[in-house]
Amino acid sequence: MPSTLFRDARDYQIAFLATFLLLGISNRDWSLRPVFMVVVVATCLGVQLAATLIHPLLTTPVTAPLSINVRSPLITALSLCLLLRADHASTFILAGTLAILSKFWLRSADKHFCNPANFGIIAALLLTNDAWVSPGQWGEDGWYVLLFAGTGGLVLQRVGRWDTTAAFLGAYVLLEAGRNLWLGWEWDVLGHRLMSGSLLLFALFMITDPRSIPNARLGRIVWAIAIALLTFILRNHFFLSTAVFWALFALAPLTVLMDSLWVAPRFSWQAIAQRAMRRSGLMPSLTSEPLR
């Protein structure tokens, strides 16, 4: 339906992530096999479907009507394709399965607190021998930075989570700049460290997942700064090239604490979409927002 397509901010996100994936494969010499992409997408959609059917049976009482979510597993699958690399299809199946299941099983107050793709990546890194992440895969070309910033900004403006990106990037840039100054490197060394496509993709598209991050703005800002700090420590003192993913994974449960400290309404994609439709006159009135 043309009227509803792209009302949901996730449609933009799916379109952008798919574009990045195409760009990466066609333009960046990625070693991602097409068959693995198919495997990841099929796994994520399949597990989402199965879990949607089974989960209500295990959790009583059944409150919400059953609806199959396609957008969320697709975003997870695309994120895994963009970030995760492995030698075997089984690793992608494991990552996709655990990523989707984390949404159903790792919940607190009816909200999942792990970013599914990030959970899948860490699970693959921990549980298999053949998974890796390639932080250098985007290089440092300026136009990628502009592309990511532009598209990411568009999504963030719709979901209203730019504060998280700004807090994360702001804190991280300050920490790295302080280190650069202390070490005495020239400023282009800092520029090179920060112009990493992978870091920007993470800051704009991963830690801004509105469903799994703290609800209140203050909570999000504190949370994002904590992730920046941990990333900085892991990267510079433990020499972990995948520092951002470990930091997000380790601090994801902090969301629960943040939500109890600073209370705010939970994020709902439907509410955002309805607001957009109302603005464009497609929905005349609002009775209630489905804040499930």
Partner 1 sequence: MNLLRRLLSVLLMAGLILGMPASAWAFCGFYVAKADTSLYNQASQVAIARNGNRTVMTMANDFRGDVKDFAIVVPVPVVLRPEQVNVGKPEILAHLDAFSAPRLVEYFDENPCESRRIFSNELAMPAPTAARDEADRRRGGALGVTVEARFSVGEYDIEILSARESDGLETWLRQNGYRIPPGASPLLQPYIRQGLKFFVAKVNLQEFSRSGSQFLRPLMMAYESPRFMLPIRLGMINARTEQDLIVYLLTPRGRVELTNYRAVNIPSDAEIPVFVKNEFPDFYRSLFQTAYQRENKKVAFLEYAWDMGNCDPCAAEPLTPEELRQAGVFWLTPNEPNRVFITRLHVRYARNTFPEDLMFQETSNQQLFQGRYILRHPYTGEMNCPAGRQYQQALSQRLEREAQTLANLTGWSLQDIRRKISFPKPGTTPSMPWWRTLWPDRH
Binding of residue 105 to partner 1 (CB under 8 A):
no
Piece of the chain touching partner 1 by CB under 8 A; list 80-88, 213-221, 222-230, 249-257? 80-88
Interface region with partner 1, contact rule CB under 8 A, candidates 52-60, 76-84, 180-188, 255-263: 180-188
Asked if 110 is part of the footprint of partner 1 (rule: CB under 8 A), the reply reads no
CB of 226 to partner 1, least distance (A): 23
Spatial CA neighbour of 273 closest among 53, 116, 71: 71
192 binds partner 1 (CB under 8 A): yes
Judged by beta carbon, residue 153 or residue 191, the one nearer partner 1 is 191
Q: How many residues bind partner 1 (CB under 8 A)?
A: 32
- Of 232, 115, 114, nearest to 170 by C-alpha is 232
Helix locations, the chain, DSSP H = 9-27, 34-58, 71-83, 89-105, 116-127, 142-159, 162-183, 187-194, 197-201, 217-237, 243-251, 254-261, 269-279
Part of the chain binding partner 1 (CB under 8 A), chosen from 79-87, 164-172, 208-216, 280-288: 79-87
- Cβ–Cβ under 8 Å, residues 74 and 117: no
With contact defined as beta carbons under 8 Å apart, do 205 and 13 qualify?
yes
Neighbouring residues of 289: CB distance < 8 A, sequence distance ≥ 6: 268, 270, 271, 274
Q: How far is the CB of 29 from partner 1 (least distance, A)?
A: 5
Residue span binding partner 1 (CB under 8 A) among the ranges 63-71, 145-153, 192-200, 211-219? 192-200
Q: b or e along 3-38 (b: 16 or more beta carbons within 10 Å of the residue's beta carbon)?
A: eeeebbbbbbbbebbeebbeebbeebebebeeebbe
Contact between 123 and partner 1 by CB under 8 A: the answer reads: no
> Per CB under 8 A, which of residues 126..145 are in contact with partner 1?
129-132, 134-141
Both tokens of 23, joined, read 């760009």
Q: How far is the CB of 239 from partner 1 (least distance, A)?
A: 5
The only residue of 2, 29, 58, 285 in contact with partner 1, by rule CB under 8 A = 29
Look at the chain and count its residues. 292
**13 or 242, CB closer to partner 1?**
242
Pick between residue 68 and residue 146 the one whose CB is nearest to partner 1. 146
> Of 11 and 140, which CB lies nearer to partner 1 in the complex structure?
140
Alpha-carbon distance of 205 to 19, in angstroms, equals 13
Q: Which of 10, 111, 193, 220 binds partner 1 (CB under 8 A)?
A: 193
- Of residues 4, 150, 174, 185, which one binds partner 1 by CB under 8 A? 185
Burial track 79-98 (b if 16+ CB lie within 10 A, e otherwise): bbbbbbbbeeeebbbbbbbb
Q: Using CB under 8 A as the criterion, which residues of the chain lie in contact with partner 1 when the complex forms?
A: 28-29, 31, 85-87, 129-132, 134-141, 182-186, 188-189, 191-193, 196, 238-239, 241
